[in-house]
């Protein structure tokens, strides 16, 4: 669908001309769910979380041992690939879940898992918590959301590099250096509160110290193995998570207060759902961020009659998303409009318009 | 100056849950704890003014439905990021099966 192309294209920075007012929380649409049912869905349980995290860490340790045992042989190649996915991709999705604090019933388990997964994905736990808070307040609102992965018009190399985590991995490393030095960018200052800044600096210093020790060990041993095991997997193993996560919002509408129109729910196979912590139910996650990942399939059943149909599979979603962002290279006003796909009995999407006049000052 | 106002019947709130109560242009959240005690706070989260009525009560905590920030609804104390500012609380009394709040 084409938008009005008489207006100049958008400024995605958080301090630029499009960083003006956004929608109020009550303007965002939510599919009504009976309170009793919602309480059941929001309930946290340690058991399913411990099983999931136990299996995950078990795979990390087992494949890590495999890497060590096969190092120096060709068998190390598949071992490293497997280890990278369990370390890099699984940690990225689990960082996100623990950021919401919804995974475990026991708070310290959630905090411990959050710190571990944050290091494994080289994300600063404080910076990203606040960045992600803003992402949920202003989902895909230009000039407000710091986590828009594919600003229009997308650069072809950015598309590829982002989908494989090459660019974003390097960006995280740069952030770590700057935060370790106690420096924040203008954009970061807009969402990271004063009280958490010193904690963010300390976390980055700890992450950097661990990476430095790993590098030193590699030098002493004259072997890449320590780097392949610690730190490295974030770069070479996060690709699967980023590939799946690229489907969350790319190519869909911007500046709409309705997650049914700016997010995708995609049916995925069990392995992808395990790696991705059920974030394929992304409309559901954004509409009700308090629901733990293990209850998202049930939430999907509750609200699907009010949403555009979920994508039948990962490839189906890519077949829509990839051409859309390629078209956006030529025509940044293009997007996939999901509004006509709302079921006929669904509640209509809110008609609010963002107050761009003030934003354009 | 006290201004006791009937907000709801005790039975209107399930144990370990909350309801919304509006009075004029003000909005409140009334809680029933696991010990069957009643509490009242401002209705809007101090972070981004999302109403707490759809939030989750966990023991003595209310979790905001938008960003999962938590308050102790007995004291209003902000307990989990991203909430940083405490929630205002109001005195509550129960008489003849009804909940009254002192909204001042």
- What ipTM did this prediction achieve? 0.86
Helical residues (DSSP H) of chain A, grouped into ranges: 35-42, 46-70, 76-84, 90-100, 107-120, 125-137, 156-163, 166-180, 186-189, 194-221, 225-229, 232-236, 239-245, 259-262, 270-276, 282-287, 296-303, 314-330, 356-359
Burial group, residue A212, by CB count within 10 angstroms (0-12, 13-18, 19+): exposed
Q: Cβ separation of A101 and B80 shorter than 8 Å?
A: yes
Q: What local confidence, expressed as pLDDT, does residue A155 receive?
A: 81
The first and second tokens of residue B79, run together, are: 């307990």
B56, B58, B72, B78: best to mutate for the A interface, most A CBs within 10 A: B56
Distances (CA, A) of A159 to A14, A164, A224, A311, A325: 21, 9, 29, 21, 9
- Residue A176 in contact with residue A206, Cβ under 8 Å? no
Question: For B62, which residue in chain A has the nearest alpha carbon?
Answer: A290
Q: What local confidence, expressed as pLDDT, does residue A355 receive?
A: 64
Res. B35 pLDDT band, cuts 50 70 90: very high
The first and second tokens of residue B58, run together, are: 């966990």
Q: Cβ separation of B65 and A195 shorter than 8 Å?
A: no
Sign of the torsion angle spanned by Cα atoms A139, A144, A147, A153: positive
Q: What local confidence, expressed as pLDDT, does residue A351 receive?
A: 79
Beta-bridge mates of residue B102: B4
Q: Which residue has the tokens 């999302």?
A: B50
Q: What is the DSSP string of B10-54?
A: GGGS-TTEEEEEEETTEEEEEEE-TTS-EEEEESB-TTT--BGGG
Res. B102 pLDDT band, cuts 50 70 90: very high
- Residue B12 in contact with residue B29, Cβ under 8 Å? no
The first and second tokens of residue A199, run together, are: 């904690």
Peptide bond between residue B43 and the one before it cis (omega within 30 degrees of 0)? no
Q: How many CB atoms lie within 10 A of CB B71?
A: 29
What are the chain A neighbours of B48 within 8 Å (beta carbons)?
25, 137
What are the chain A neighbours of B58 within 8 Å (beta carbons)?
44
Question: For A41, which residue in chain B has the nearest alpha carbon?
Answer: B56
- CA B58/CA B55 separation, integer angstroms: 10
Mean pLDDT for back-to-back runs of 10 residues, chain A (361 residues):
56 87 88 95 96 98 98 97 97 95 95 97 94 93 92 80 75 93 93 92 97 98 97 93 94 95 97 97 97 98 97 97 92 93 92 58 35
Structurally, chain B folds into a number of domains equal to: 1
Q: Cβ separation of A290 and B80 shorter than 8 Å?
A: no
Q: Tell me, yes or no, if A155 comes closer than 8 A to chain B by beta carbon.
A: no
What are the chain A neighbours of B51 within 8 Å (beta carbons)?
26
A312: helix, strand or coil: coil
Domain of B14?
Answer: 4-102
Beta-bridge mates of residue B9: B98
The first and second tokens of residue A176, run together, are: 């770590």
Residue of A43, A130, A290 with shortest CB distance to B82: A130
pLDDT tens digits, B56-96: 999 999 999 999 899 999 999 999 989 999 999 999 999 99
Instruction: Return phi, psi of residue A2, to 5°.
Output: -95, 140
- Residue A236 in contact with residue A87, Cβ under 8 Å? no
Q: Cβ separation of A44 and B51 shorter than 8 Å?
A: no
Closest CA to B65 of B86, B43, B92: B43
Which residues, including other chains, have CB under 8 Å from residue A74's CB and lie 6 or more apart?
Answer: none
Q: What local confidence, expressed as pLDDT, does residue A170 receive?
A: 85
Q: What local confidence, expressed as pLDDT, does residue A360 receive?
A: 36
Q: What local confidence, expressed as pLDDT, does residue A8 receive?
A: 61
Q: What local confidence, expressed as pLDDT, does residue A66 receive?
A: 98
Closest CA to A101 of B58, B99, B21, B17: B58
B78: helix, strand or coil: strand
- CA B74/CA A118 separation, integer angstroms: 32
Res. B3 pLDDT band, cuts 50 70 90: confident
Break chain A into its structural domains and give their ranges: 45-338
CA A25 to chain centre: 21
The first and second tokens of residue A347, run together, are: 């509640």
Beta-bridge mates of residue B30: B19, B40
Q: Tell me, yes or no, if A100 comes closer than 8 A to chain B by beta carbon.
A: yes
Residue of A24, A42, A195 with shortest CB distance to B56: A42
The first and second tokens of residue A276, run together, are: 């991705």
Question: For A99, which residue in chain B has the nearest alpha carbon?
Answer: B68
Q: How many CB atoms lie within 10 A of CB A276?
A: 27
The first and second tokens of residue A189, run together, are: 């200052």
Q: What local confidence, expressed as pLDDT, does residue A163 receive?
A: 67
Query: The domain that contains B27 carries what CATH number?
Result: 2.102.10.10
Beta-bridge mates of residue B94: B99
Q: What local confidence, expressed as pLDDT, does residue A358 receive?
A: 41
A30, A36, A133, A288: best to mutate for the B interface, most B CBs within 10 A: A133
């Amino acid at each position: 669908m084409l938008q009005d192309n008489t207006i100049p294209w958008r400024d995605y920075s958080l301090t630029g001309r499009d960083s003006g007012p956004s929608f109020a929380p009550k303007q965002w649409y939510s599919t009504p769910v009976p309170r009793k049912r919602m309480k059941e869905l929001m309930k946290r349980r340690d058991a399913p979380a411990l099983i999931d995290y136990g299996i995950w860490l078990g795979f990390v340790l087992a494949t890590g041992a495999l890497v060590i045992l096969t190092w120096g042989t060709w068998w190390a190649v598949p071992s490293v690939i497997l280890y990278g996915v369990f370390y890099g991709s699984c940690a990225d999705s689990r960082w996100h879940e623990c950021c919401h604090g919804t995974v475990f019933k026991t708070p310290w388990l959630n905090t411990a898992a959050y710190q571990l997964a944050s290091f494994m994905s080289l994300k600063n736990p404080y910076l990203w918590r606040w960045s992600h808070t803003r992402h949920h307040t202003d989902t895909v609102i230009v000039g407000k959301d710091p986590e828009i992965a594919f600003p229009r018009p997308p650069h072809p190399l950015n598309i590829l590099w982002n989908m494989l985590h090459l660019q974003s991995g390097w960006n995280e490393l740069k952030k770590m250096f700057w935060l370790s030095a106690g420096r924040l960018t203008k954009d970061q200052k807009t969402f990271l509160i004063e009280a958490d800044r010193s904690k963010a600096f300390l976390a980055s210093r700890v992450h950097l110290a661990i990476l430095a020790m790993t590098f030193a060990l590699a030098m002493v041993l004259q072997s890449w193995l320590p780097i392949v095991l610690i730190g490295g997997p974030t770069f070479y193993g996060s690709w699967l998570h980023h590939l799946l996560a690229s489907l969350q919002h790319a190519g869909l509408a911007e500046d709409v207060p309705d997650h049914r129109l700016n997010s995708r729910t995609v049916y995925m196979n069990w392995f992808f759902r395990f790696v991705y912590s059920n974030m394929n139910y992304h409309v559901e996650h954004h509409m009700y961020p308090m629901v733990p990942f293990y209850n998202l399939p049930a939430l999907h059943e509750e609200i699907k009659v009010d949403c555009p149909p979920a994508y039948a599979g990962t490839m189906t979603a890519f077949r829509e998303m990839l051409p859309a962002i390629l078209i956006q290279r030529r025509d940044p006003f293009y997007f996939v409009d999901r509004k006509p796909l709302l079921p006929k009995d669904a509640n209509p999407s809110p008609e609010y318009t963002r107050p761009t006049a003030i934003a354009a000052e | 100056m006290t201004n006791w106002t009937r907000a709801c019947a005790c039975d209107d709130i399930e144990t370990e849950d909350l309801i919304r109560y509006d009075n004029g242009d003000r909005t409140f959240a009334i809680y029933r704890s696991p010990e069957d005690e009643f509490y009242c706070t401002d209705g809007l989260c101090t972070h981004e003014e999302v109403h707490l009525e759809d939030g989750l009560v966990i023991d003595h905590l209310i979790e905001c439905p938008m960003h999962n920030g938590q308050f102790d609804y007995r004291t209003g104390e902000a307990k989990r990021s991203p909430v940083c500012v405490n929630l205002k609380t109001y005195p509550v009394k129960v008489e003849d099966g009804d909940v009254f709040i002192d909204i001042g």
